[in-house]
Chain A
Amino acid sequence: EPEVTQTPSHQVTQMGQEVILRCVPISNHLYFYWYRQILGQKVEFLVSFYNNEISEKSEIFDDQFSVERPDGSNFTLKIRSTKLEDSAMYFCASRDLERGEQFFGPGTRLTVL
């Protein structure tokens, strides 16, 4: 069964450093999403991406964040200068054109020291 994959599973970085989180959505999906989940809290939306552009973003997704689909398979989230409060699980999700269901990856745990 096709699935969303994410790398790395755990990323540790120093405050102020740039990080890139990578996702490979399900191959025939066209909508891509990034969510984050701070430990013990609910999942929060960051950004959605369709047709090579951002279609929606939340207040969390400020100028420090960017997304890119550099090729036909990868979808990346970049945090330019990480802050302590960026520590969270980051989930990538994708969905196809017809169904509303979003399929989630296993997540990347980001720890900012």
Chain B
Amino acid sequence: GESVGLHLPTLSVQEGDNSIINCAYSNSASDYFIWYKQESGKGPQFIIDIRSNMDKRQGQRVTVLLNKTVKHLSLQIAATQPGDSAVYFCAETSPTGRRALTFGSGTRLQVQP
């Protein structure tokens, strides 16, 4: 079936470096993408979203890039901090957000001090 998946299970970076987390999706009809951060023992926390009519969206220290041609999106975290250590999931849903989220398998980001 359709799926949303991640390239790397673990990413280790030095504090202060930029981090890039990647995600591939297979449903060409996907319209709305969300990145979630999940810290240990907590629920997923919204980071940033992007709709399919956009290629890039920026937030505070985070940027999401969407390449519809190759069905790939990425999350860039600038000046990574220890508090950024968590598992990051990409998720996909319909444009209205009414359809359930389909989550990828997650990437663990480890920030080394």
Say whether A and B bind each other. yes
Q: How large is the interface on B (under 10, 10 to 19, 20 to 34, 35 or more residues)?
A: 20 to 34
Q: Give Cα distance in the complex from A50 to B32, angstroms.
A: 20
23 contacts between A and B (CB under 8 A): A31-B98, A35-B100, A42-B103, A42-B104, A42-B105, A43-B44, A43-B89, A43-B91, A44-B103, A45-B101, A45-B102, A48-B98, A48-B100, A93-B101, A99-B97, A100-B49, A100-B93, A100-B96, A101-B49, A102-B97, A102-B101, A106-B42, A107-B42
Q: Give Cα distance in the complex from A19 to B105, angstroms.
A: 27
Number of A-B contacts (CB under 8 A): 63
Q: Say yes or no: is B82 at the interface (Cβ < 8 Å to chain A).
A: no
Chain B positions within 8 Å of A56 at CB level: 99-100
Q: How large is the interface on A (under 10, 10 to 19, 20 to 34, 35 or more residues)?
A: 20 to 34
Which A positions have Cβ atoms within 8 angstroms of B? 4, 31, 33, 35, 41-45, 48, 50, 55-56, 58, 91, 93, 95, 99-107
